[in-house]
Chain A
Amino acid sequence: MELNSKIPPGPLAEKWDQHKFDIKLVNPANKRKYSVIVVGSGLAGASAAATLSELGYAVKCFCFQDSPRRAHSIAAQGGINAAKNYQNDGDSVFRLFYDTLKGGDFRSREANSYRLAQLSVNIIDQCVAQGVPFAREYGGHLANRSFGGAQVSRTFYARGQTGQQLLLGAYQALEKQIAKGLVTMYPRTEMLDLVMIDGRARGIVVRNLITGKIESHAADAVVLATGGYSNVFYLSTNARGCNATAIWRAYKRGAAFANPCYTQIHPTCIPVSGDYQSKLTLMSESLRNDGRVWVPKAKGDKRPPNEIPPAERDYYLERKYPAFGNLGPRDITSRAAKEVCDEGRGVGETGRGVYLDFADAIKRLGAQTITERYGNLFEMYERITDENPYKVPMRIYPAPHYTMGGLWVDYNLMTTIPGLYALGEANFSDHGANRLGASALMQGLADGYFVIPYTIGDYLARGGINAVNTDMPEFRNTEREIAERTSKLLSIDGKRTVDSIHRELGHIMWDYCGMSRNDAGLRKALELIPQLRDEFWKDVNVPGSDAELNQALEKAGRVSDFLELGELMVRDALNRTESCGAHFREESQTPDGEALRDDEHFAYVAAWEYAGANAAPILNKEPLEFESIHLSQRNYK
């Protein structure tokens, strides 16, 4: 497989402008003759669908939720980064770019990260124009805060609901186009396969989740904006419906899957409380601005937190990373929590938790200020745990949150399949091995509003796209395969529920391919996952029929894909014997336990190619070349 990243030549700061000039344009009168399918209606999908239709393309947009407004982007709390430098604190496009690259441990593509930083400023302007109610200062100017380890205040926010407000902005833009009849929306519709004709992506096969009907849709290009795959861990901060089916089926049709092992574990989530638990709730990272993280110095200290005197507390982040303290990057902070819990110093009933303590901040700033800053988060915490964080320190623990890996895309966001694009969390390109806080929203919107509208035109304008229709055998055959797969799932009639198998997969992934990984564990997972997959196909119980709303069937399809994707993640983690960003290989660490990169051997993107059901996937490498910066070892001490 040839991986041509199509990075434009020229100086870093001019690449995107030059590229926009070089790529072909579609004649405005011809745009309506081209059709584009957008799968997913989150920040990337909704913004892409709206913008493409504004340009004149005939757009169909699909989501599995009952309304595009419910995509999981809505749950992002903290904010969105932009290199506006409104605070005059030394921010710039280059600084945001450098922070992104460094935060990602130099495993992202330089040109993509730079473009992302460039576009960040346009995003804010666009969202303001849409009426997104960003926080404002008394003078009427946009407010900023610093976030997730950044040394500048570049994060824009709308209370603790930034993702919601940005998504509603994109959703409203989308509804505006739907009202004009320029986008056809298909809610409660799930993509189950990609259809290829003459080596190009030409459509999708979907299931109408209400009637169960399998339908085909043809188009000139297909855009996947279907989010990440953290739910492979079963418990994650993702919504229950988040799944990898669209990108996984695209992978099986020939799209390379890049860096699947890069999964971000968010440090501030509410710990697991029991087996029934269905998801983990994230507490905004902004809490670390005022909260202090600690555990007891002594192992197995079961005293209530307020009875442990300061001298017997270990503020381990402040101790280990004096420069950044409690505000270090997510991967480092998460791993530090795991370490202290592994030492037996974790708190709470399960021992898998650390304290996030606001007592000092309340003393310093007053409860009033803390309420203003975090009131709704405190309420949410109390609602879930029945503990009052004004009086008792919060308990937090890391949880799977975001996947930096995804479909391999070139600079145009096109996958290795011509005509198939991947946007937002579904692709791999901008965050490297670890994503900065408040950068996911930025990437989703950059891809959707400002990248794909240009780059898709280049593909369409180059021609060679023949007329197709859904009666062609490629569509019919794919529909048949889907129907067969569905009836297989329904006919097994075994003993195990889909959730129980999913939960077991989650345990395997968390134990062996979670916050830290080692050779033996990964090899063990490589044995366990196929066994579990066999068990799934032999003993799963999916009740109901395929001709109705059948949530168990939906889940079964998604879990069957997670059972395959999980194995690829493990393979990738096993291959990458270095530590980088969120991928921590125990074999590769500095003497004091920090991640140790191996630039000589691993400065590449691992793009895995499907080789058939019974063959090992093929590893392709895209070397990462850095023209503008030199690689340094991350140091947050």
Chain B
Amino acid sequence: MNLKLHVWRQPSAKDTGRIESYEARDVSPDMSFLEMLDVVNEELIVAGKRPIAFDHDCREGICGSCGMMINGVAHGPQKATAACQLHMRTFKDGDEIVIEPWRARAFPIIKDLVVDRSAFDRIIQRGGYVSVNTGGAPDGNDILIGKSSADHAMDAAACIGCGACVAACPNASSSLFTGAKITHLGKLPQGQPERDRRVIGMVEQMDIEGFGNCSWFGECQEACPKEISIDVIKQMNRDYVAASARASSNE
């Protein structure tokens, strides 16, 4: 099939960008979306033009590197699917596809479709861990964790940090990302001692980075390639209120 692509091109953070159009010819339905872009890039290089820059790595939906708005939808039209796992059979001959980078003040564009998501790392730095040094851990079975707690924690821990939640949110909120980590550690006994400190720190950092608030649009949950539930945001709010109440009673 043949497609027409309208792609955001921006040489660097300093330059202004614009949409440019390209033809993608002889696209096989079995190609992944990124393979389709590979083929377009090969043609661009041969034609002496600059290839389209986009982040990608594992191409099996787990590293969280890739991510772009495809026809106005984060990671494209297929639910629970990262762009690298989206296949061209989702499109049909003659389709026009608009491809844009994630847009958020906290995710500045580096080039074309590549954005800087280091804000996520800084949110984790504010408490998205258990403060345990290597060595001296008790036996793994000394900490009993019921199956449902472990399963709940795993549901939230599945986050790949791709940023689709921010991209899809009309407020550019990172609540799903932050809430997922708070829920993962909050469901486990290992996460309890630092639970208050974690939620206060991570929420504060999320605000410092310039993400918007959660208005419960539900777009993040829909965009999440790992189908993380907005229940994690509820958990974050609850923990935040409890932690704030405890903090002010200790003041």
Is A47 at the interface (CB under 8 A from chain B)? yes
Q: Which of B157-165, B208-216, B233-241 contacts A (4 or more CB under 8 A)?
A: B157-165
B126 at the interface (CB under 8 A from A): yes
Inter-chain contacts of B114 with A (CB < 8 A) = 549
Please report the number of residue pairs spanning A and B whose Cβ atoms sit closer than 8 angstroms: 215
- Output the nearest chain A residue to B185 by Cβ-Cβ distance: A131
Residues of A near B64 (CB, < 8 A) are 69-70
Quick one: CB contact mask for A478-510 with B, threshold 8 Å, 1 for yes? 000000000000000001010110000000000
Let me know if B85 and A140 touch, CB within 8 A.
Answer: no
A239 an interface residue at 8 Å Cβ cutoff? Answer: yes
Q: Which of B45, B51, B110, B133 contacts A54 (CB 8 A)?
A: B133
Main secondary structure of the interface of B (DSSP, over half): loop
Q: How far is the CA of A278 from the CA of B33 in the complex (A)?
A: 11
Give chain A residues whose Cβ lies under 8 Å from the Cβ of B61: 380
CA distance A239 to B34 in the complex (A): 13
Let me know if B160 and A544 touch, CB within 8 A: no
CB pair A131–B130 under 8 Å, yes or no, is yes
- Interchain CB contact (< 8 A) of A66 among B36, B50, B55, B89: B55
Least distance between A424 CB and chain B CB atoms (Å): 16
With A67-B117, A134-B150, A274-B28 already in contact, the answer to whether A140 and B144 are too (CB < 8 A) is yes
Cβ–Cβ contact A176 & B121, under 8 A: no
B144–A128 touching, CB < 8 Å = no
A136→B152 CA distance, assembly (Å): 11
Set of chain A residues within 8 Å of B134, measured between Cβ atoms: 47, 50-51, 54, 126, 173, 449-450, 453
- Those of B135-161 within 8 Å (CB) of chain A: 135, 137-141, 143-147, 149-150, 153-154, 157-158, 160-161
List which A59-102 residues lie within 8 A (CB) of chain B: 65-70, 72, 74-75, 84, 86
Q: Which residues of B contact A453 (CB under 8 A)?
A: 134
Identify which of A3-11, A160-168, A260-268 touches chain B. Answer: A160-168
CB distance from B104 to the nearest CB of A (A): 15
> 0/1 per residue, B17-53, Cβ < 8 Å to A?
0000000000011111011101100100110111101
B57:A541 contact, CB within 8 angstroms = no
Q: Collect the chain B residues with CB atoms within 8 Å of residue A141's CB.
A: 141, 144
Q: Does B111 contact A (CB under 8 A)?
A: yes
CB distance from A85 to the nearest CB of B (A): 11
- Specify which chain B residues have a CB less than 8 angstroms from the CB of A126 in the assembled complex: 132, 134-135, 137
Instruction: Convert B56-72 into 0s and 1s, putting 1 for each residue whose CB lies closer than 8 angstroms to a CB of A.
Output: 11111111110000000
Specify which chain B residues have a CB less than 8 angstroms from the CB of A543 in the assembled complex.
Answer: 45, 48-51
Identity of the chain B residue whose Cβ is nearest the Cβ of A273 in the assembled complex:
B30
Contact residue among B38, B53, B59, B118 (Cβ-Cβ distance under 8 Å from A187) = B118
Cβ–Cβ < 8 Å partners of A159 in chain B:
154, 158
B8 located at the interface, meaning its Cβ lies under 8 Å from any Cβ of chain A in the complex: no
A161 to B191, CA, bound (A): 20
Report yes or no: A281 in contact with B60, Cβ–Cβ below 8 A. Answer: yes
A343–B46 CA distance with the chains assembled, in angstroms: 39
In the complex, A124→B28 CA distance in Å?
Answer: 44
Once the chains are docked, how many angstroms separate the CA of A139 from the CA of B114?
46
Q: Which of B12, B31, B146, B154 is most buried by chain A, counting CB atoms within 10 A of its CB?
A: B154
Does A384 sit at the interface, judged by CB under 8 A?
yes
- The answer, yes or no, to whether A276 is at the interface (CB within 8 Å) is yes
Of A69, A72, A552, the residue contacting B121 (CB under 8 A) is: A69
What's the nearest-Cβ distance from chain B to residue A247, in Å? 19
Q: Which of A66, A179, A450 contacts B117 (CB 8 A)?
A: A66
A sample of 9 cross-chain residue pairs with beta-carbon separation below 8 angstroms, ordered by A number, consists of A74-B62, A75-B58, A75-B63, A128-B140, A136-B150, A172-B124, A175-B125, A241-B57, A543-B49
A contacts, CB < 8 Å to B: 47, 50-51, 54, 65-70, 72, 74-75, 84, 86, 122, 124-131, 133-142, 158-159, 161, 163-165, 168, 171-173, 175-176, 178-179, 185, 187, 210, 239-241, 273-274, 276-279, 281-282, 380, 383-386, 449-450, 453, 495, 497, 499-500, 541, 543-544, 548-549, 551-552
Task: Please list the residues of chain B having a beta carbon within 8 angstroms of any beta carbon in chain A.
Answer: 11-12, 28-32, 34-36, 38-39, 42, 45-46, 48-51, 53, 55-65, 78, 81, 85, 87, 89, 110-111, 114, 116-118, 120-121, 124-126, 128-135, 137-141, 143-147, 149-150, 153-154, 157-158, 160-161, 184-185, 188, 190-191
Q: Which 7 A-B pairs have the closest CB atoms?
A: A140-B144, A172-B129, A129-B137, A179-B125, A136-B150, A128-B140, A125-B137
